Chains A and B, each alone.
Chain A
């Protein structure tokens, strides 16, 4: 139990589908993140939310749309994805942002395959 829960664990979707990834944290943290992890590549930060406000958007294509209704929940809405978007999508949370010495707690990720 990591304190950060992601659903679903696995997702296969067609390029015309619309789906959403969900993340929930029970740690009382103020900051939540979406990362993309591709094989043998560094983690790529996609979005950061601090106190429900988006503070970072690292040039992510508009086919990825985040939503943060409260400090405990984070969604990533997906539509018209491309096969190269297939990856492990990790959600994380930390006490605050930015806070350089605060560790991040990660969920187990959603393994996304776009066909």
Chain B
């Protein structure tokens, strides 16, 4: 079956940069999503990548390498409000979303 791997938890400092990695199985790939979920809140869309390369949206960027089955979410100039879980999800060959368990990001002053 499909597996999405991402770290369970990461800690970073306010103002710094953090990279959250996600690996997936490469067969039947149709795109990769990143979502942000604050505790007790709805997941909200951050990015979608289907082609290789880096896509930048303000402080957040998402990278994809299809040949390596690898993506990362890069967060710059970290703010306390960035403390949240970050969910990686692959669109498989059946157009179903395969979700990772999420990475809990803790920002310290």
Q: Which A residues are within 8 Å of any B CB, using their own CB?
A: 2, 4, 40-45, 56, 90, 97-101, 103-109
Contact = CB atoms under 8 A, between A and B. Distances in A.
Contacts of B7: none
B45 A103 contact: yes
Contacts, number: 53
Interface residues of B, number: 25
Interface string B89-107: 1010011111111100000
Given A42-B100, A43-B87, A100 B42 contact: no
Nearest to B46: A103
B50 interface: yes
The majority secondary structure among interface residues of chain A is loop
The majority secondary structure among interface residues of chain B is loop
A107 B41 CA distance: 8
A45 B96 contact: yes
A101 B50 contact: yes
B96 A106 contact: no
Nearest to B50: A101
